[in-house]
Structure 1
Amino acid sequence: MKLQKNIQTIAKNTLLQEAEAVKKVADFIDGDFEDVVTNIFGMKGRLIITGIGKSAIVANKIVATLNSTGTPSIFMHAADAIHGDLGMIQADDYVLCISKSGNTEEIKVLIPLIKRLGAKVIGMVSSIDCYVAKHADFVIKAIVSKEADPNNLAPTTSTTVQMAMGDALAICLLEARGFSAQDFAKYHPGGALGKQLYLKVDDIYPKNELPVISQDELVKASILVISKKRLGAAAIVNDEKELVGIFTDGDLRRMLEKHDDFSNLTIGEVMTSNPKTIEKGEYAIRALNEMREYDINQLIVTEGKKVIGFLHISDLINEGIV
């Protein structure tokens, strides 16, 4: 039991220490950081991000985030750069060198070579009193005082801060580009996330049956229509074919509890008025959110006051956005 409590304490202290470091590094968002964003936004070339060890892993993550938010980026491992990969750098490019110490040998060798090619160097470092900070054209201050590791050796807090600064950079560039949800969808067409961003109600409802019943229709005949269409519900319309209600399995149960004889009842007498609807052209994710908000399994798809389709929760599950 004592060991379990110790583990929980260690884990909580680690998270709190890293959270505090991210909070403190916000104080180093200054004019230098703004210059970095402005120059990357206006560059004619590409952004190449490099590092070694854990910083290389962070660099890969930042590259992925930038690419998915509209800033073309390339990863270059610092060790590979000085063994041939340097050829990917062009004069119009900017190279972001990530290094905690700013004194790593591979990075120290790399920076003069980058400058010789005419590219600009951005340093992301944990100390401004280092080789990278002194020789880079721009500096991002990812400053941390201590790692979460009790020996202050394993890159933990420093890599967390580096990734956070990378996110800050990506979001600033996203805002500068006016990058929209539709733009985001272009780069994420697959999986649940992509479908949430581009799948529309119109892509789904035409596959379903369309049970529509006049409000003057007798319940018995209506139930046969609902059973045949296999959606467990029907849209109820008036003489002008405008939506006035819905009849579901729940309405059927409530009717049976209330009426022993329903042979002369019309569907309009037992329907639920003012049903929840979704307009044609809306995104499917909005339909999902409405179903969750109102705890219902289906929505009637409308075009103005006209019923044009049904959307069921199972449709959204099958599409993979739930």
Structure 2
Amino acid sequence: MTLQNKILSVAKDTILNEAKAVAHLESLLDDSFSNAVECIYNSKGRVIITGIGKSAIIATKIVATLNSTGTPAIFMHAADAIHGDLGTILEDDVVICISKSGNTPEIKVLVPLIKNFNNKLIAITGNKDSFLGQQADYVLNAFVEKEACPNNLAPTTSTTAQLVIGDALAVCLLDLRGFSSKDFAKYHPGGALGKKLYLRVSDITKANQKPEVSLTTDIKKVIVEISEKMLGVTAVTKDNKIVGIITDGDLRRMLAKTDNFEALTAQDIMSESPKTIDNDAMAVDAMDVLETNGISQLLAEENGTYSGVVHLHNLIREGII
């Protein structure tokens, strides 16, 4: 076996091992899981998630997922907790403790302290019979038969299982809260994802110039309007309502058809009934219209009147594509 084939074989075995372990988690779900979700959902406090070692790293990810989906959460390192950070926990908070064995020294010290505060304790552990499992109000079983590590030592499959349990918790809570894409946008305002969720057509049209001619505007003025507004298009309007559109392509086709265009007006070369979009629509919806119709510009309307232009380049620049 070549070195390359050996590497691929180990990688595939790792993925298959973890995939089987994740699939097995479904059979381990019981009433304790649903009760834990209800406990968090009905709580007036936050979710405090703690762990040590690799479990602590998984805890930080679950915290991030909960926070971004409408469930306030805070990470508390198990070792720091017993040296002052227990003050993080407030009266109505729910505590989730993550530990594969459930028997690490820090966990054995921490759990009784949490119980003394009378906070509900949820365990994510691979050992239901462990100290943590016995002390917790709700136990979420993250048992795996073996790690992907060939020595069955390095936390690999077990941490993947913990992460999946955390995702399942977050998605269940998201569903119970009726958390929508609009809610999601509130917590993700930055980057391309955020813009897809909150950027509207109006945000683009107000930043663009507004090319506009009437039905009787002569061709020279049409060309100047398209050139000066730099969007490769102009709307043709009557009483501020869109009646047509003229693009760079329309001008090229006109020049190919006739040498005498001085007597022509916008009405003679415009395309009627152009594709339009409401000014309040999402920018990502404008992208769908452009892609579906194979066009580069889209006219926008507000209350039935012309409001501006959305260009493909606008959407590329904003990271919508």
After TM superposition, is the score higher than 0.5? yes
Q: Bigger CA drift: 106-115 or 23-32?
A: 23-32
Maintained 8 Å contact 1:92/1:118: no
Alpha carbons of structure 1 residues 229 and 90: separation in structure 2 relative to 1, 3 Å: closer
Matched, 1:192 2:192: yes
2:102 matched to which residue of 1? 102
Aligned residue type for 1:17: N
User: Per the alignment, in what secondary structure is the counterpart of residue 207 of structure 1?
Assistant: coil
Query: Contact 1:17–1:157 (CA<8 Å) still a contact in 2?
Result: yes
Q: 1:3 to 1:269 in 2, by over 3 A?
A: farther
Q: 1:52: Cα distance to partner?
A: 0.6
The 3-state SS of whatever aligns with 2:96 is: strand
Q: In structure 2, what residue type is equivalent to 1:310?
A: V
Matching of residue 306 in structure 1 with residue 299 in structure 2: no
* Structure 2: distance between partners of 1:283 and 1:193: 13
1:140 Cα shift?
A: 0.7
| Aligned position for 1:4 | 4
Deviation at 1:240, TM superposition (A): 4.6
Return the alpha-carbon distance in structure 1 between the equivalents of residues 265 and 226 of structure 2: 14
Q: Distance in 2 between matches of 1:296 and 1:6?
A: 49
Please report how far the alpha carbon of residue 23 of structure 1 lies from its aligned counterpart in structure 2 after TM superposition.
1.9
The amino acid of 2:60's aligned partner reads N
Q: TM-score, normalised by structure 1?
A: 0.91
Q: Which residue of 2 aligns with 1:245?
A: 244
1:87–1:206 Cα change, 3 Å: closer
Q: Check the 8 A contact 2:147/2:155 in 1, yes or no.
A: yes
- Where do 4+ consecutive residues of structure 1 move more than 4 Å? none
Query: Counterpart amino acid of 1:129?
Result: D
Counterpart secondary structure, 1:4: helix
Deviation at 1:93, TM superposition (A): 2.3
| 1:111 alignment counterpart | 111
Q: Aligned with 1:96: secondary structure?
A: strand
1:141 aligns with 2:134: no
For structure 2, the residue ranges without an aligned partner over 5 or more in a row are none
- Identify the residue that residue 204 of structure 1 maps to in structure 2: 204
1:296 counterpart SS class:
coil
Native 8 Å contact 2:280 2:302 kept in 1: no
Cα deviation, 1:277-314, whole Å, max 9, x if unaligned, reads: 22011122222333333333221111244211112233
For the structure 1 residues 131 and 315, does the alpha-carbon distance in structure 2 shift closer, same or farther, using more than 3 Å as the test?
same
Cα offsets for 1:209-231 (capped at 9, x unmatched): 22122334443432222112221
Structure 2 vs 1, CA of residues 16 and 250 (structure 1 numbering), >3 Å: closer, same or farther? Answer: farther
Aligned residue number for residue 51 of structure 2: 51
Write the distance in 1 (CA, Å) between the matches of 2:178 and 2:222: 51
Contact 1:123–1:132 at 8 Å: present in 2 too?
Answer: yes
Q: TM-score with structure 2 length normalisation?
A: 0.91
Distance 1:25 1:320, change over 3 A: same
Structure 1 Cα separation of the partners of residues 286 and 305 of structure 2: 18
Q: Within 2, Cα distance between the matches of 1:136 and 1:100?
A: 14
Residue 38 of structure 1 is matched in structure 2 by 38
Cα distance, 1:49 vs. partner? Answer: 0.5
- Taking the aligned partners of 1:91 and 1:11, their CA distance within structure 2 comes to 46
What is the aligned partner in structure 1 of residue 314 from structure 2? 315
Instruction: Quote the residue 1:256 is aligned against.
Output: 255
Matched, 1:297 2:296: yes
Aligned residue number for residue 213 of structure 2: 213
1:73-112 to structure 2, matched below 5 A, reads 73-112=73-112
- The aligned counterpart of 1:271 is 270
Q: Is the 8 A contact 2:102 2:131 kept in 1?
A: yes
Distance 2:126 2:294 in 1: 50
Q: How well do the aligned residues superpose, as a CA RMSD in angstroms? A: 2.1
Q: Which one is further off, 32-41 or 245-254?
A: 245-254
Deviations 1:69-119 (A, max 9, x none): 111111111111112212222343221110111221211221111111211
Amino acid corresponding to residue 227 of structure 1 in structure 2: S
Structure 2 residue identity aligned to 1:133: G
Give the number of aligned pairs. 321
Q: Distance in 2 between matches of 1:9 and 1:260?
A: 69
Distance between the aligned counterparts of 1:194 and 1:305, measured in 2?
A: 28
In the TM superposition, residue 179 of structure 1 has moved relative to its aligned partner by 1.8
Q: What is the CA distance between 1:182 and its match in structure 2? A: 2.3
Task: For 1:59, give the aligned amino acid.
Answer: A
Cα drift, residue 194 of structure 1: 2.5
Which range is displaced more, 205-214 or 73-82?
Answer: 205-214
Where do residues 163-174 of structure 1 align in structure 2 (5 Å cutoff)? 163-174=163-174
Q: Match for residue 222 of structure 1?
A: 222
1:51: Cα distance to partner? Answer: 0.5
The amino acid that maps onto 2:161 is V
Contact 1:125-1:133 within 8 A present in 2 as well = yes
Structure 1 residues without counterparts, runs of 5 or longer: none
SS at match of 1:204: helix
